[in-house]
Chains A and B, each alone.
Chain A
Amino acid sequence: MRSVSVDLNNDASLLIDIPDALCERDKVKFTVHTKTTLSTFQKPEFSVPRQHEDFIWLHDTLVETEDYAGLIIPPAPPKPDFESPREKMHKLGEGEATMTKEEYAKMKQELEAEYLAVFKKTVQVHEIFLQRLSSHPMLSKDRNFQIFLEYDQDLSVRRKNAKEMFGGFFKNMVKSADEVLISGIKEVDDFFEQEKTFLLDYYSKIKDSTAKAEKMTRSHKSTTWNFFYLFIFLTLKLGKLSDLFEKLRKVEGRVASDQELKLTELLRYYMRDIQAAKDLLYRRARALADYENSNKALDKARLKSKDIPQAEEHQQQCLHKFDKLSESGKRELTGFKGRRVVAFRKNLIEMAELEIKHAKVSNIMTGSHAERVLLDSCVASDLSNSTWDPY
């Protein structure tokens, strides 16, 4: 999943990764490891434990920071979701009485693998969030980011304070006014006009694709599970053949996982990233609206000959802010497009290569096994011996 966003973590001045994580009941504790040559940090290498909520806190403070209004803030990592494997674990526990020891052990193993897969996904998505920040010229210097990386105490106190201060105000605003404002604004700049049209349309399409990909992946995985039950029963009658099916099922499972990682996760990530880009457009649109309002206020002031200098200054501020956002926004959006194309390319190539590999492996296994089955039967001289089981 690192390949979702490429060109990260190759600047030696600030290297971040999550080498370790622990899952205790519902909470995941990530170990955030930093290696740096920057003098702004106290040590050249250090690690801190962080929870998911700490990442959200960091994300939110960045979003609320006025100075970053012209930047695409990397999307916050989604909450770790162990719902699916946990549900299956429950069912396994309930069905324990009806299964043989072998069946139970196999299923447990499968479930542990699924747990592990979800686990790794969530580690990666948290890691990417940090790496996006560390590779950004402005965001990497953020004070809170530094605190997040370095502060060796619990961040929960800071989290509470932040909640009280902002109360999610800005986020709510974004949600309700978003589309209307962006699409309603009179755009003077061609670049932003195009971007706006493109992003709004692309967002709805990628949202749909993500949902459909998720459905497909879920279906794929549940088919694999079905295979599994089927082949448990086949073991009872068809010894060697069940070996083949067991292996094919494993490959099938990996095909489903690979598809999820390379395709579904990719779409999911960029859907969120595009939302972040839209947020940028929103902030700029708001700044434009503010500027237009300040113009109107200035005209009013001039008419009434009252508070002209304030109005003029306010108008200048608005203009300045708007220009800054436009300039920064253009840079960010152009970089974003490049990033997106590269990531899609990498993932699509990797997915195709993996699919080819899995199909080839399955092909060899099936072919050689089928041969063996055929060979066995021709060699057998006494077919009437019904206790001989050729499978």
Chain B
Amino acid sequence: MCLSSSEPASLPAEDISTNSNGPKQDLLFDEDPEDLFAEATEEVSLDSPERDLLLSDGPSPAITPITPPTSVITPCIGHSLLRIKFEQFQTCFLQIEEEEGGDLFDMNISVSDPEKVGDGMNAYMAYKVTTKTSMSVFKRTEFSVKRRFSDFLGLHSKLASKYLHVGYIVPPAPEKSIVGMTKVKVGKEDQSSNEFVEKRRSALERYLMRTVKHPVLLKDPDVLQFLESSDLPRAVSTQALSSAGLLRMVNKAADAVNKMTIKMNESDAWFEEKQQHFENLDVQLRKLHASVESLVCHRKELSVNTAQFAKSAAMLGNSEDHTALSRALSQLAEVEEKIDQLHQDQANADFYLFSELLGDYVRLITAVKGVFDHRMKTWQKWQDSQMLLQKKREAEAKLQFTNKPDKLQQAKDEIKELEGKVQQGERDFEQISKTIRKEVSRFEKDRVKDFKTIIIKYLESLVQTQQQLIKYWEAFLPEAKAIS
């Protein structure tokens, strides 16, 4: 590769943003005098044909100044401005939900106060589940119960067995973690086990909220009992290493094999399209999830290195014999330390939230795909009954020519039964198809909202971080200038 450093001090102004609705309110750099590349060649003005080749896509684009949107007058976007807009946004969503009629969804569940109960390998974490609601289906407006992780799994298991096969997307429960739980049981009171408990608490909360947001699941007696009753029969078949667990695994494998052998004649293009859509979404979300997790990891590394540098800079400052420079170096160390803390508190937290949401959706999509699979199974069942009916009819026709009145009657009875089954099969298939359509539409709406909420939260905190950064460096600047 052949590179040349010859270039003029100013680069062509080209904004490379690909799309924008409405007025161009994009990048607001003005021609950058501190440009990394301009610095090197300040006193030179050479024109090189290679320049355009190398730099037309602008590794450091200089953008023609554009007036910012009128609502953004100050060069520093205040947190409060954004908050107002966010609240307007939330109202929008709420209005639309109201229009859908019925009892306005007004419910808030919080999972809190994780408490270790018992000792050793039999110990478990108990969480307090508090419900605040004004909805009529509940007897009280505020109530709380104590639940452990296996209770949540038990709830999900019951809901799944009741609703998945008729096409309802039952939100999956948070994942088990033998390693994580063992640390807690053994009594390791360190940061990683605290993080684990917090992650789980948050996941359980999200799980419950998602479950009750589903209009059908909300009214399920198991859900109501879970939230309201102080005593709950222990769910035993949820243990990972139990016989029930093994049975589940075997069934899953069997299902997978069956899926491969079902060849459905899809008459409805919508389903085919949606299935493909969810396949793609699955792949993308997994990639994204892995990417965000890796980012969180790198951020942690950066944090460690920044903290180390800050300490070293402080020592350098102590060693420096020029007083003003010594003070400036110490101040630099402090700034770097504060910035590190800033990144840890804000940026990390939000990526973490994003990462958790992605994990939730990866699991949710598995549930969605499961529901599509159930539809296929329902269709298969219907087809099977139809084929069996056909066979029986043929057999009956044959029997008509023989003199076996008992067998004939039996055949006629069987046929009547099967006709009923076929009709039921068809109804089931139509019902599940209808349900899935509704469910998918609801799911997509929620997905859009969830992601948007998270992203706006992230943007908000990003704005805050940026403001803090500006404050720190502006405080440092006079110290640097004071060096004489």
The interface of chain A, by Cβ under 8 A from chain B, is: 1-2, 17, 19-24, 109-110, 112-113, 115-117, 119-120, 123-124, 198, 201-202, 205-206, 208-209, 211-213, 215-216, 218-220, 222-223, 226-227, 229-230, 233-234, 236-241, 243, 247-248, 250, 254, 257-258, 261, 337, 341, 344-345, 348-350, 352-357, 359-378, 383-384, 386, 389-391
Contact = CB atoms under 8 A, between A and B. Distances in A.
B312 interface: yes
Interface in B289-319: 291-292, 294-295, 298-299, 301-302, 305-306, 308-309, 311-313, 315-316, 318-319
Interface string B58-84: 011100000011011001110001100
Contacts of B316: 202, 205-206, 208-209
Contacts of A345: 325, 328, 480-481, 483-484
Given A223-B299, A349-B477, A22 B2 contact: yes
Interface string B28-65: 11000010110111011010000000100101110000
A383 B96 contact: yes
Interface stretch (B17-25, B169-177, B392-400, B417-425): B17-25
Given A124-B40, A254-B36, A209 B295 contact: no
Contacts of A115: 1, 3
B302 A116 contact: no
Contact of B3 (A119, A201, A374, A378): A119
The dominant DSSP class at the A interface is helix
19 contacts: A19-B6, A20-B4, A21-B5, A112-B54, A212-B309, A226-B294, A229-B294, A233-B288, A236-B284, A240-B19, A243-B17, A243-B18, A341-B322, A344-B483, A356-B473, A368-B25, A376-B21, A378-B88, A383-B96
B105 interface: no
B463 A359 contact: no
B27 A247 contact: yes
Most chain A CB inside 10 Å of its own CB: which residue of B1, B18, B61: B1
The dominant DSSP class at the B interface is helix
Nearest to B71: A371
Contact of B20 (A215, A240, A389): A240
B36 A205 contact: no
Contacts of B319: 198, 201-202, 205
Contacts of A234: 288
B5 A20 contact: yes
B456 A359 contact: no
B263 interface: no
Contacts of B36: 117, 120, 254, 257-258, 261
B401 interface: no
A236 B41 CA distance: 38
